[in-house]
Amino acid sequence: MHPTRRTFLGATALAGLLAEDGFAQLAAPHFAPKAKRVISLFQSGGPSQIDLFDPKPGLKNLRGSDLPDSIRRGQRLTGMTATQTTFPTAPSLFEFKQHGQSGAWLSNLLPHTAKIADQLCFIKSMYTEQINHDPAITFFQTGFQLAGRPSIGAWLSYGLGSENKELPAYVVMISQGTGRPGDQPLYDRLWGSGFLPSRYQGVKFQSAGDPVLYLSNPDGVDAAGRRRFLNDLAKMNEMKYEEAGDPEISTRIAQYEMAYRMQTSVPELTDLSKESAKTLEMYGPDAKKPGTFAGNCLLARRLAERGVRFVQLFHRGWDHHTLLPKQIQGQCGDVDQGGAALVQDLKERGLLDDTLVIWGGEFGRTVYCQGKLTADDYGRDHHPRCFTIWMAGGGVKPGTSIGETDDYSYNITADPVHVHDLNATILHCLGIDHTKLTFKFQGRHFKLTDVHGNVVKKVLA
């Protein structure tokens, strides 16, 4: 079905005006949204909730003791620890304190995040069924553990479009952690469009050279020449579309036009010369270094104020099976100041109220040590049974914490929140009923949340 004839969000007709690229303007959300856009700060690899957000002081007296069977309950283990004969309890080496009027608990690894604690909503009871990285990240992104379905950013691009015709609706940036530089890879399909038209996939910005691949004109081609070339190419593609009726041909025309417009908009976006010294100082010394997490956070704010619907920053390096105390310090040093500055910057500019910011990874880490436990070192395996994320802005109640875990941070004891629930809540903040954002493919109406998901009302303002 051609995208201009599809139904959107159960609406009976499309809005009347056609966009510049030939696609229909989209219908309004189901109800008044609190958020207009999302910035996802995805910490790839699985940050340790026990060392960052979920203090368990009682573990100090249990150091080295085997994790009780009553806690583990025969739950699935990865291949990396399944052959261990013991599962020694490893208390965190880092100190925790309460911060702000909300009294949020954070470890001393996150001093900048601690300063914005009253802006944050912590969910300490996240869980997923996926225990290994690729299926877990794929599940977080698409609602399914196998590749092939649209990413959440693609769903939002399809559902709500962009407020800026000069920039993509969905932008992705990747930074490499200093804690573990050789960490898990990331694949472009994680921000792909799946069975949605490919115009809704994320556009990855590069840290070197052109921010977007092939954005510059080839040698010997000026702007006027490129414009003539695109006009002729569009006519040829339109002829092909009339012959074949393939909607991807219209997508191709639209993407060529977007690339042409980005030749002006992207250089302006990435030019930080007009940012104040105060702003750059707030984001920290890495803010001017392309490809760093802090630098990407600053670009995320600039994208948000230009109307980009979904901005996703992936930061690699959180997979700490060994040397966790050393490696996690590097990771937190990478992300703490930039992430906190982003929230504060959005607030100061009046953008936080309608921008939803989300920080977290695909799962958490085990309380037991992987490998040898020593006085100053331990590793932690993957743990999908409970982990922590935080949210800020865009319809979320600030200064709150929901969910509880047992004394080992191993099982959830109150307010469990599944990945499907989180995605349903994100869509709700954007004014979308997650059960109605659908796309028909192979005879079935697919959704981001499939047949699952409940909005987590406790996090809503």
Per-residue pLDDT tens over the stretch 87-117: 999 999 999 999 999 999 999 999 999 999 9
Task: Answer yes or no: is pLDDT of 20 > 50.
Answer: no
Task: Answer yes or no: is pLDDT of 214 > 90.
Answer: no
Task: Answer yes or no: is pLDDT of 4 > 80.
Answer: no
Given pLDDT bands bounded at 50, 70 and 90, which one contains residue 217? low
Q: Of 73, 131, 52, which Cα lies nearest the Cα of 335?
A: 52
pLDDT of residue 223: 73
Tell whether 21 is covered by a domain. no
Tell whether 441 is covered by a domain. yes
Distance of CA 224 to the CA centre of its chain: 38
Q: Give the Cα separation of 304 and 337 in Å (integer).
A: 19
Angle between helix axes 247-270 and 223-244 (nearest 10 degrees) is 160
Q: Give the Cα separation of 37 and 35 in Å (integer).
A: 6
Tell whether 8 is covered by a domain. no
Measured at the alpha carbon of residue 210, what is the angle toward residues 204 and 212, in degrees to the nearest 5? 25
Q: Give the Cα separation of 192 and 198 in Å (integer).
A: 8
Pairing of strands 417-418, 120-127: parallel
Task: Answer yes or no: is pLDDT of 160 > 60.
Answer: yes
pLDDT of residue 13: 29
pLDDT of residue 23: 38
* Arithmetic mean of pLDDT, 300-316: 97
Query: What is the per-residue DSSP string for 188-220?
Result: GGGG--TTS-GGGSPEEPPSSSSSSTT-SPPTT
Tell whether 17 is covered by a domain. no
More confident residue, 240 or 16: 240
pLDDT of residue 2: 40
Q: Give the Cα separation of 321 and 90 in Å (integer).
A: 13
> In this predicted model, what pLDDT tens digit does every residue of 32-59 receive, in sequence order?
999 999 999 999 999 999 999 999 999 9
Task: Answer yes or no: is pLDDT of 12 > 50.
Answer: no
Given pLDDT bands bounded at 50, 70 and 90, which one contains residue 241? confident
Tell whether 23 is covered by a domain. no
Domain total of the chain? 1
Measured at the alpha carbon of residue 184, what is the angle toward residues 179 and 186, in degrees to the nearest 5? 120
Task: Answer yes or no: is pLDDT of 178 > 90.
Answer: yes
Mean per-residue pLDDT of the chain? 89
Least confident of 4-8, 381-385, 401-405, 433-437: 4-8
Q: Of 35, 80, 86, which Cα lies nearest the Cα of 304?
A: 35
Residue type, 107: S
Tell whether 20 is covered by a domain. no
> In this predicted model, what pLDDT tens digit does every residue of 244-265 receive, in sequence order?
777 777 766 666 666 657 677 7
Given pLDDT bands bounded at 50, 70 and 90, which one contains residue 163? confident
pLDDT of residue 354: 97
Residue type, 217: N
Strand partners, 417: 126
Per DSSP, the three-state class of 405 is strand
Residue type, 425: T
* Arithmetic mean of pLDDT, 192-205: 93
3-state helix, strand, coil in the chain (%, to 5): 35, 20, 45
Task: Answer yes or no: is pLDDT of 10 > 50.
Answer: no
pLDDT of residue 60: 96
Q: Give the Cα separation of 144 and 126 in Å (integer).
A: 16
Given pLDDT bands bounded at 50, 70 and 90, which one contains residue 9? very low
Per DSSP, the three-state class of 291 is coil
Given pLDDT bands bounded at 50, 70 and 90, which one contains residue 270? confident
> In this predicted model, what pLDDT tens digit does every residue of 322-380 receive, in sequence order?
999 999 999 999 999 999 999 999 999 999 999 999 999 999 999 999 999 999 999 99
Q: What is the DSSP letter of 287?
A: G
Tell whether 116 is covered by a domain. yes
Q: What are phi and psi of 409, to 5 degrees?
A: 50, 45
Contacts (Cβ under 8 Å, ≥6 apart) of 409: 49, 50, 54, 56, 364, 367, 386
pLDDT of residue 213: 63
Tell whether 120 is covered by a domain. yes
Task: Answer yes or no: is pLDDT of 191 > 80.
Answer: yes
pLDDT of residue 394: 96
Residue span of the structural domain in which 43 resides: 28-459
> In this predicted model, what pLDDT tens digit does every residue of 271-295 receive, in sequence order?
999 999 999 999 999 999 999 999 9
* CB count in 10 Å sphere of residue 94: 19
More confident residue, 238 or 109: 109
pLDDT of residue 253: 67
pLDDT of residue 257: 67
Least confident of 6-20, 149-163, 391-405, 432-446: 6-20
Q: What are phi and psi of 144, to 5 degrees?
A: -150, 145
pLDDT of residue 215: 65
CA dihedral 135, 137, 138, 144 (to 10 degrees): 80
Given pLDDT bands bounded at 50, 70 and 90, which one contains residue 7? very low
Which CATH number covers residue 89? Answer: 3.40.720
